[in-house]
Structure 1
Amino acid sequence: MTPFTRRNFLTATASLLASPTILRAQSLTAEDEATARHNISSFAMQNWQDHFDSLGVATLLADTTSRALHYWSADGSDYRLYPTSVPMTDELTKRGYTKVVRKKVGPSWTPTPNMRERDPSLPITMAAGPGNPLGTHALYLDWPAYLIHGTHDTRKIGRRSSSGCIGLYNEKIAELYDLVPIGAQVRLI
Structure 2
Amino acid sequence: MAAPPISVIAFIAVMRARPALIKRFVFGSALFIVSVMGAARLDVSFMSTPVNVACLAAAYLAYVFLAASFWLVKPLILRVPALVIAAVPVLAGYMMGTVGLLGLAFIIGDYANPPLQTLRIDANLECRVIAWGNATADSGYTVHLYRQAPLIPFVEREVSRVRVDETRPGPGPATASCKDALAAMH
TM-score normalized with structure 2 length:
0.30
* Greater percentage in helix: 2
TM-score normalized with structure 1 length:
0.30
Look at both structures and tell me which one has the larger radius of gyration over its CA atoms: 1
Q: Name which structure has the greater RCO, CA cutoff 8 Å, separation 6+.
A: 1
